[in-house]
């Protein structure tokens, strides 16, 4: 008859049956307490990039502006303001624009919040992206050297019966007026000039955007050295 199977780990030299229950309990409690109070570096390793940036009050608006992306930006801004009302939020923008309604939802939230929103153009800020960029706190609107900005009138595909077409066309004109007034307010430009410049796609280099009043500063690494 074969001897009973020995469950003791090889090379341990310890018989588990001889370890007091109190010692096992103590070991388990010690292990659990170490997991509960993880060191800061371990907590950082367990966080996602988005969570780490959010903890430092950094939000990204990347890609098309639509319901989901606008909701994500707005929820993050409200969350950060709830944590601390007097500390800036940094909003990094790399967007081709998108929905006018969702752009205005982000814009209105930015104007409503008690803290300053510092905006940064990374890559491009076209159409609605340019609106959000220009809406940052004065003196805290930045652009990287090779980023570009574009403004234009809102697009609208109008279909349906004649009466429906007229209603939709009137809404597009209202949106156009709203967006032009916002740009005029934040660039200190005359409304008539904004209307003329946005009649067709108007592109700006980083320097041109600063001269126009869409941003306050071009972030150039050479100037920091």
In this structure, what are the phi and psi dihedrals at residue 14, rounded to the nearest 5 degrees? -125, 135
Q: 112: which residues sit within 8 A by CB, 6+ positions away?
A: none
Contact 125, 133 (CB under 8 A): yes
Residue 96, φ and ψ in degrees, nearest 5: -85, 0
Q: Which of 69, 90, 152, 198 is catalytic?
A: 152
Q: How far is CA 106 from the centre of its chain?
A: 11
Spot the catalytic one: 127, 186, 198, 205: 127
Output b/e per residue, 116-125; b: 16+ Cβ within 10 A.
Answer: bbbbbbbbbb
Rounded CA separation 29/39 (Å): 17
> For this structure, is 127 an active site residue?
yes
Instruction: Give catalytic status of residue 31 as yes or no.
Output: no
Maximum Cα interatomic distance, the chain, rounded to a whole number of Å:
102
What residues are labeled active site? 127, 152
């Amino acid at each position: 008859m074969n001897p009973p199977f020995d469950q003791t780990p090889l090379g341990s030299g310890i018989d588990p049956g001889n370890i007091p229950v109190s010692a096992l309990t103590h070991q388990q409690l010690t292990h659990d307490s170490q997991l509960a109070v993880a060191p800061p570096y371990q907590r950082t390793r367990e966080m996602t990039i988005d969570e780490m940036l959010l903890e430092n009050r950094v939000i990204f608006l990347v890609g098309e502006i639509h319901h989901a992306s606008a909701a994500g930006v707005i929820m993050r801004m409200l969350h950060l303001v709830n944590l601390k009302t007097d500390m800036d939020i940094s909003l990094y923008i790399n967007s081709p624009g998108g929905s006018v309604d969702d752009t205005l939802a982000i814009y209105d939230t930015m104007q409503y919040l008690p803290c300053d929103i510092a905006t940064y153009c990374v890559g491009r800020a076209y159409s609605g992206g340019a609106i959000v960029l220009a809406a940052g706190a004065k003196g805290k609107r930045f652009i990287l050297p090779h980023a570009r900005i574009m403004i234009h009138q809102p697009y609208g595909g109008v279909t349906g019966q004649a009466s429906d077409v007229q209603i939709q066309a009137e809404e597009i004109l209202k949106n156009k007026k709203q967006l032009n007034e916002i740009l005029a307010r934040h660039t200190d430009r005359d409304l008539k000039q904004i209307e003329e410049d946005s009649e067709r796609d108007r592109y700006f280099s980083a320097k041109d955007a600063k001269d126009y009043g869409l941003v306050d500063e071009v972030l150039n690494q050479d100037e920091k050295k």
